[in-house]
Amino acid sequence: MKRRWNWPIWVGFVFVLGGLFSYGFFARFPIARDFPWANLLLFGIGGALLFVGLFRAFGRPQLYRGKIVGTILTAIALFLFAFFSYEIFYVLRQVPPSTGAPRVGQKAPEFTLLDQNEKPITLAALLSGSKAAVLIFYRGFW
């Protein structure tokens, strides 16, 4: 008897990869930015499919393939989920809060920074010829 293709293993691994690599897409939306529920849902669906595929492969090996490949892909998926969880729930929580940053519409304090030619420039110098200047604040540290 020819063994059948064990599709839950492969589809489950694709869902796990989708959960990992779609964070940049889902982080654009406020509902998924603070807590990555959409990514965790994709990881959950992928994990469930991987375990269904493993149970099929080990439960009826004469009918389904995937004992070795399924085990390897499940181990990789668990590693990717652990990596994602570590980055999202631990590393990103270590970034200091930006409580001192000006709010939208608030007047920026006077400052002096270096421009692209390493020459100091002040906020007053930027505002001398115009009514406004655009300031972009990047949260984080480097």
**What does pLDDT average to over the chain?**
87
Where is average pLDDT lowest: 38-47, 66-75, 97-106, 121-130?
97-106
pLDDT beyond 80 at 142? no
Q: pLDDT tens digits for 8-66?
A: 999 999 999 999 999 989 988 888 888 999 999 999 999 999 999 999 988 888 888 88
What whole-number distance in Å separates Cα of residue 79 and Cα of residue 105? 44
Q: What pLDDT band is residue 137 in, cutting at 50, 70 and 90? A: low
What pTM was estimated for this model as a whole? 0.69
**DSSP conformation letters of 59-101:** H-TTTB--HHHHHHHHHHHHHHHHHHHHIIIIIGGGSPP-TTS
Q: pLDDT tens digits for 64-82?
A: 888 899 999 999 999 999 9
Supply the pLDDT for residue 49. 96
Q: What is the mean pLDDT of residues 129-134?
A: 80
R_g of the chain, CA atoms, integer Å? 25
